[in-house]
Amino acid sequence: MRGSFAGLRIRERRRALGLSQTALAERAGISPSYLNLIEHNKRGIAGKVLLSLARELDLPPSALSKEAELSLIGDLRQAAADMPVDQAEADVTEEFVSRYPGWARLVNTLHGQVRAQRTAIDALSDRLTHDPFLQTTLHEVLTRITAVHSTVEILATVPDIPDDQRARFLRNVNDESARLANVARELTQYFDDAVEQDQPTTLPDEEVERFFAQRQNRVPELEAEAADTSTITELLQASELRGEEARRRAQTRLSAYLEEARALPLEPFQAAARKTGYDVAALARQFGQPIPMILRRLSRLQRRGGAGPLFGLVSINAAGHLAERIALPGFPIPRHGAACALWPVYQSLAQPGRTERHIVDLATGGRFITLTHANYADSGTVGLPGPLTSTMLIVDAGDAAGTALTTGLAENTPAVAAGTGCRICPRPACASRAEPAIMTAQI
Amino acid sequence: MKRVLIVEDEANIVESLIFLLERDGFEVATVADGAAALDRIAAFNPDVVLLDVMLPSLSGFDILNQLRGSDAHADMPVMMLTAKGQSKDRDRAMELGATVFVTKPFSNAEIVAHVRQMVGQEKADGG
């Protein structure tokens, strides 16, 4: 099913421009029969062909790129899963994205905004309920009003109050009024400050994800030999990250990136990776670095001239929270909520220190090789474990063929029949299913 | 004369309550600190206690709990006064054995009526 969207879009765009297959093929420098195969999804497109077709059709190359489309499809399926009451036709998501990419992006953007606003509402609700300042202030207001109300009621209804008592009551009311005015000022200032903080409208994780996704998960500035922590500061200052928490998380990830870039410089690492056939154990020995760092570094490598495998990566903490996600075409990673429990990255948590390899068949039709490794960070305290992280490198089985990634892997090795997440997975009989799927048809 | 002890740390509220209850014929004593309230109750031996929840050093709930656990004051009428009007606070007060639960801001007439009712008289009898 992978790569099946560009064909339809090319055909529709060509027709909209009034071009014949022959005319477009000629302009793009390919044969009409090859264009016919592309339009009927019998051939994928990449590289020069993709660029020339995009140019002739007056489309941005990303409009014909399956990576962007697959990511959008995954996000829309998640949107449908988040709002099942709306009965979106989730099983035709691919067609929707293909035919109406603008609308699809709009729906996805709106879904993101709805989620962010829901989170903001929850946070505000929590704040109103539990904020110590608001709790104290409300108590103060009620106390002052009680004093004023009780005193004024006496002054208004009791005719024979002695003069000295009346004078004291009036003074009390005056004092309480002044205190109430102070509380009102503090409350106003409190909400003014909250507005000035300019709360971000997206989640910190999403901001950080966007920051890295826009850079295709690679930060050339940190690959430079002279890069240091001031480079990170400059990157953050120049970034569009708005929330304090998002900046903090981005800084943590960039610091880890810098550490990896120093330990495994890109050029020699890429050369060694090719030479060893992407043998992670050999690379770990050669560079004297831990396996998880090798896995993360491999996910930063880009294809050169269309050669070499392309990697995705997932890392989770001990609670299963997705800490890092580098998407790979055909292997969607849920942006929110739990991923498939069968992903080897979860199994790896039970076997820290071991590097495991699995074949994973996704419900969407792709076959992938995964390498996983979980490890504890040092807690610095005797008797207490540090944070446990599990890292999973993902590579298309086709890309991995002939490399060390598949060396020794018997053909009859059982594959893990996994999905993306239960709600968008069509495997009805899965023993690990945690909740019903929103789709029954094959994706 | 029936005795009312007011356990409340807000001086201006206390002054209004003293005026109202003394005018209605009650003998009134006050204490502002939670930790001192139990001793004051033992010494003053009131017929009714008006007990604020938010007090310095010991909360009204704690005082009520200790009162109900003592032989001498297990049945003493207690009116809880609180700015915390949530149902869970009301439930807690009633579970601990409060006789009446009143939320701030209250009306003077409401307080006086409850006190009269708790001492078993429609109108304080002055002795």
Backbone angles phi, psi at A257, to 5 degrees: -60, -45
In chain B, residues with a C-beta closer than 8 Å to the C-beta of A177 are none
pLDDT at A130 over 60: yes
Which two three-digit tokens encode residue A416? Answer: 């893990």
pLDDT at B3 over 90: yes
Decide if A146 and B13 are in contact by the 8 Å CB cutoff: yes
Does residue A108 sit in the same domain as residue A170? no
Does residue A52 sit in the same domain as residue A164? no
Residue A59 pLDDT grade (very low, low, confident, very high; cuts 50, 70, 90): confident
Q: Which residue has the higher pLDDT, A124 or A374?
A: A374
Give the contacts of B16 (CB within 8 A, at least 6 positions apart): A147, A150, A151, A154, A169, A172, B108
Is the distance from CB of B64 to CB of B97 less than 8 angstroms? yes
Decide if B108 and A154 are in contact by the 8 Å CB cutoff: yes
In chain B, residues with a C-beta closer than 8 Å to the C-beta of A151 are 12, 15-16
CA distance A395 to A414: 17
Given the structure tokens 């998960």, which residue do they identify?
A: A217
Does residue A96 sit in the same domain as residue A18? yes
> Does residue A440 lie within any of the structural domains?
yes
Closest chain A residue to B21, measured at CA? A154
> Does residue A295 lie within any of the structural domains?
no
Angle between helices A291-298 and A280-287 (to 10 degrees): 110
Decide if B83 and A149 are in contact by the 8 Å CB cutoff: no
Q: What is the 3-state secondary structure (H, E, C) of A188-225?
A: HHHHHHHHHCCCCCCCHHHHHHHHHHHCCCCCHHHHCC
In chain B, residues with a C-beta closer than 8 Å to the C-beta of A157 are 108
**pLDDT value of residue A199:** 53
Does residue A101 sit in the same domain as residue A149? no
Q: How far is A246 from chain B (nearest CA, A)?
A: 36
Is the distance from CB of A109 to CB of A101 less than 8 angstroms? no
CA distance A316 to A347: 11
Closest chain A residue to B86, measured at CA? A129
Among A128-142, A357-371, B23-37, which is the least confidently predicted range?
Answer: A128-142
Question: Nearest Cα to B36, choosing from B54, B75, B63?
Answer: B63
Decide if B15 and A175 are in contact by the 8 Å CB cutoff: no
HSE-CB at A13 with a 13 A cutoff on CA atoms is 22
Among A118-122, A149-153, A155-159, B72-76, which is the least confidently predicted range?
Answer: A118-122
Which two three-digit tokens encode residue A368? Answer: 């992938």
Question: Nearest Cα to A249, choosing from A234, A263, A236?
Answer: A236
**pLDDT value of residue B44:** 95
For residue A47, which amino acid is it?
A: G
* Domain end among A176, A196, A216: A196
Percent of chain A with pLDDT over 70: 91
**pLDDT value of residue B125:** 44
Residue A167 pLDDT grade (very low, low, confident, very high; cuts 50, 70, 90): very high
- Report which DSSP code applies to B119: T
Q: What is the CATH number of the domain that holds A102?
A: 1.10.260.40
Judge if the upstream peptide bond of residue A84 is cis by omega within 30 degrees of 0. no
Does residue A92 sit in the same domain as residue A191? no
Question: Nearest Cα to A354, choosing from A391, A396, A385?
Answer: A391
Q: Is A323 helix (H, G, I), strand (E, B) or coil?
A: strand
| Minimum-distance CB partner of A175 among B12, B13, B23 | B12
DSSP A266-307: HHHHHHHHHHTTS-HHHHHHHHT--HHHHHHHHTT---BTTB
CA distance A130 to A126: 6
| Minimum-distance CB partner of A143 among B16, B19, B104 | B104
Among A128, A136, A143, which would you mutate to test the B interface (most chain B Cβ atoms within 10 Å of its Cβ)? Answer: A143
Question: Could you list the residue range(s) of the whole structural domain that residue A34 is in?
Answer: 6-113
Question: Nearest Cα to A254, choosing from A267, A242, A239, A270?
Answer: A239
**pLDDT value of residue A269:** 94
Backbone angles phi, psi at A294, to 5 degrees: -65, -40
Q: Which helix (H) or strand (E) holds B82?
A: strand B78-82
Q: How far is A189 from chain B (nearest CA, A)?
A: 23
Question: Nearest Cα to A361, choosing from A347, A378, A343?
Answer: A343
CA distance A19 to A39: 13
In chain A, residues with a C-beta closer than 8 Å to the C-beta of B23 are 158
Q: Which residue has the higher pLDDT, A217 or A396?
A: A396
Which of the listed ranges A117-126, A148-157, A359-368, B85-94 does the model predict with the highest average pLDDT? A148-157
Does residue A310 sit in the same domain as residue A352? yes
Does residue A306 sit in the same domain as residue A369? yes
Is the distance from CB of A1 to CB of A41 less than 8 angstroms? no
| Minimum-distance CB partner of B12 among A142, A153, A176 | A176
* Domain end among A196, A214, A246: A196
In chain B, residues with a C-beta closer than 8 Å to the C-beta of A176 are 12
Is the distance from CB of A434 to CB of A341 less than 8 angstroms? yes
* Domain end among A113, A148, A175: A113
pLDDT at B24 over 90: yes
Does residue A106 sit in the same domain as residue A136? no
pLDDT at A442 over 60: no
What mean pLDDT comes out for the span A12-34? 90
> Does residue A126 lie within any of the structural domains?
no
CA distance A231 to A257: 12
Is the distance from CB of A420 to CB of A333 less than 8 angstroms? yes
pLDDT at A313 over 50: yes
Question: Nearest Cα to B33, choosing from B52, B12, B15?
Answer: B52
ipTM metric: 0.89
Residue B124 pLDDT grade (very low, low, confident, very high; cuts 50, 70, 90): very low
**pLDDT value of residue A428:** 80
Decide if B16 and A150 are in contact by the 8 Å CB cutoff: yes
- Please name the CATH architecture into which domain B3-118 falls: 3-Layer(aba) Sandwich (3.40)
CA distance A27 to A274: 36
pLDDT single digits (tens) B66-112? 999 988 888 999 999 988 666 778 888 999 999 999 998 999 999 99
Which of the listed ranges A54-58, A322-326, B66-70 does the model predict with the highest average pLDDT? B66-70
Q: Does A178 touch chain B (CB under 8 A)?
A: no
In chain B, residues with a C-beta closer than 8 Å to the C-beta of A153 are 107-108
Q: What is the CATH number of the domain that holds A443?
A: 3.30.450
- Report which DSSP code applies to B107: -
pLDDT at A95 over 70: yes
pLDDT at A439 over 60: no
What mean pLDDT comes out for the span A28-45? 86
pLDDT at A321 over 50: yes
Q: How far is A176 from chain B (nearest CA, A)?
A: 8
Q: Is A326 helix (H, G, I), strand (E, B) or coil?
A: strand
For residue A160, which amino acid is it?
A: D
Does residue A442 sit in the same domain as residue A309? yes
CA–chain centroid gap for A431, Å, is 27
pLDDT single digits (tens) A253-270? 999 999 999 999 999 999
Decide if B13 and A150 are in contact by the 8 Å CB cutoff: yes
Q: Does A149 touch chain B (CB under 8 A)?
A: yes
> Does residue A148 lie within any of the structural domains?
yes
**pLDDT value of residue B122:** 57
Residue A443 pLDDT grade (very low, low, confident, very high; cuts 50, 70, 90): very low
pLDDT at A376 over 80: yes
> Does residue A80 lie within any of the structural domains?
yes
Which of the listed ranges A27-36, A77-86, A277-286 does the model predict with the highest average pLDDT? A277-286
Does residue A109 sit in the same domain as residue A180? no
Residue A420 pLDDT grade (very low, low, confident, very high; cuts 50, 70, 90): confident
Does residue A104 sit in the same domain as residue A136? no
**pLDDT value of residue A238:** 87
Is the distance from CB of A241 to CB of A207 less than 8 angstroms? yes
Question: Nearest Cα to A93, choosing from A442, A367, A360?
Answer: A442
Decide if A154 and B13 are in contact by the 8 Å CB cutoff: no
Domain count, chain A: 3
In chain A, residues with a C-beta closer than 8 Å to the C-beta of B14 are none
pLDDT single digits (tens) B55-64? 888 899 999 9
Q: Does A137 touch chain B (CB under 8 A)?
A: no
Question: Count of H helices and E strands in chain B?
Answer: 5, 5
Q: Which helix (H) or strand (E) holds A119?
A: helix A101-130
In chain B, residues with a C-beta closer than 8 Å to the C-beta of A135 are none
- Its sign, for the CA torsion A176, A181, A186, A187, is positive
Residue B23 pLDDT grade (very low, low, confident, very high; cuts 50, 70, 90): very high
Q: What is the mean pLDDT of chain B?
A: 89
Does residue A346 sit in the same domain as residue A422? yes
CA Rg, chain B, in Å? Answer: 13
Q: How far is B82 from chain A (nearest CA, A)?
A: 9
> Does residue A285 lie within any of the structural domains?
no
pLDDT single digits (tens) A335-372? 666 789 999 999 999 999 999 999 999 887 789 999 99
Contacts of A58-64 spanning 24+ positions with Cβ under 8 A: A58/A17, A59/A9, A59/A13, A63/A9, A63/A101, A64/A6, A64/A9, A64/A10
**pLDDT value of residue A73:** 82
